[in-house]
Structure 1
């Protein structure tokens, strides 16, 4: 488990990254601008930072330079942007960024970059300017309904999940209670809600295993559960 700071001015992106990384077992701090990022850097001492380039007060590259200048670039930093040029990516890696993720960000590439960053942090705590690696978009992680993760991602209300005891799944009884008099869309949503609750309960709330069992890419699974109003965290096993 690592302490990860996510810095992005789009609330939808911050909240989605928080859910994804939180499901991986990490503690996530959120900042919507450079000022909040500076404060979190001082107080939380993150093991890794995901830093957006285009922000309203101070851009990410300028903040990266500031940390490098003041000797605060002691953690891996992964830059994110949907509009940055190759020159910007080169400059960021020259300053000390470990990676550059191009939006829309593929979920597996995000998780791989985070894992590489945390491994690098453990193996080589001294910051260095690695060779440029621009990770381009593919199978996007998204906070909106189009599947795109760019700077146009709409804001949405943060979900607050309870740590309730897992609900026992009884799919046969629940399916029997479905009414055929419902409109098709409502009936389909009811079926899907029972279906995903069953798998979440069976897999102890593990989104990775549920995605494998249901054949859904994890980004789509997150969106589907939100759409259905299924609170995934209440199915998580204690201590996991």
Structure 2
């Protein structure tokens, strides 16, 4: 988990990046202009900054120069822009930016750049103190589960299909895996096919989310789904990735 500061004047961009990075397990703080970014940087050192170039008060390149001049450019900074020229990107890199992302930002490029930035960040010694509040989970819905014990079939017996090992092995109802096992065990074979399938898929994705500690990237790889499809599927099923990740701590 890392502390990431997102600086962008567009609310939609801030919310999208917060959602994606929050689902990756990072703590995200946002600023809508350079002044807010200055204040947050004075309060502490983030592990990484995603900085937009074109902002209404002070542009990102100017802010980058300020941080360099004042000795505050002690964290990796990734610049973002939908209108910047190659010259602007080169200038930002010369000043000290680690990378440059062009909007609209492709998901894989974003995650790769963030991973590289954080790897670079860990090589340096950073002062402590930057502890922004966690971003709330964006995907909403209640993971109710379906309970018809009088007709429930022992679906947990088929749990190896959910990841190669029985869900109930070494778990109790008080653990996240135990709760997932209970949900799976209570799926009735007497349900209509659509409802039974949804209940199974809910237990399936809950298992993988707990197993991968809420990392949407790893769950997408495990389940063989595109990440955007995975987001839609979880929302449809009422599964909350952030809630399951917190339970696993």
The answer as to whether partners of 1:54 and 1:81 remain within 8 angstroms in 2 is yes
Q: Which whole-Å deviations, capped at 9, do the CAs of 1:76-109 have from their partners, x for residues lacking one?
A: 1000111211011011111110100112222222
Q: What residue is the counterpart of 1:104 in the other structure? A: 104
Q: What residue is the counterpart of 2:19 in the other structure? A: 19
Count the aligned residue pairs: 200
Between structures 1 and 2, the one with greater helix share: 2
Q: Which whole-Å deviations, capped at 9, do the CAs of 1:5-57 have from their partners, x for residues lacking one?
A: 01112222222222222232322111111111111111132111001112222
SS of structure 2 residue aligned to 1:94: helix
Q: Which whole-Å deviations, capped at 9, do the CAs of 1:116-168 have from their partners, x for residues lacking one?
A: 11222232569xxxxxxxxxxxxxxxxxxxxxxxxxxxxxx983879x98553
Q: What residue is the counterpart of 1:159 in the other structure? A: 138
The answer as to whether partners of 2:140 and 2:238 remain within 8 angstroms in 1 is no
Cα distance in 2 for partners of 1:192, 1:103 equals 38
SS of structure 2 residue aligned to 1:173: coil
TM-score by length of 2: 0.67
Q: What residue is the counterpart of 2:184 in the other structure? A: 170
Mapping 1:83-162, distance limit 5 Å? 83-124=83-124, 159=138
Q: What residue is the counterpart of 1:231 in the other structure? A: 240
Cα distance in 2 for partners of 1:160, 1:221 equals 11
Q: Which runs of 4+ in 1 moved over 6 A?
A: none
CA gap 1:5/1:119 in 2 versus in 1, 3 angstroms: same
Q: What residue is the counterpart of 1:208 in the other structure? A: 217
Cα distance in 1 for partners of 2:44, 2:196 equals 43
**Residue 197 in 1 paired to residue 202 in 2?**
yes
Q: What residue is the counterpart of 1:217 in the other structure? A: 226
TM-score by length of 1: 0.69
Unaligned runs of 5+ in 2: 127-135, 144-174
Cα distance in 1 for partners of 2:242, 2:137 equals 14
Deviation at 1:178, TM superposition (A): 4.5
Q: What residue is the counterpart of 1:66 in the other structure? A: 66
The answer as to whether partners of 2:76 and 2:98 remain within 8 angstroms in 1 is yes
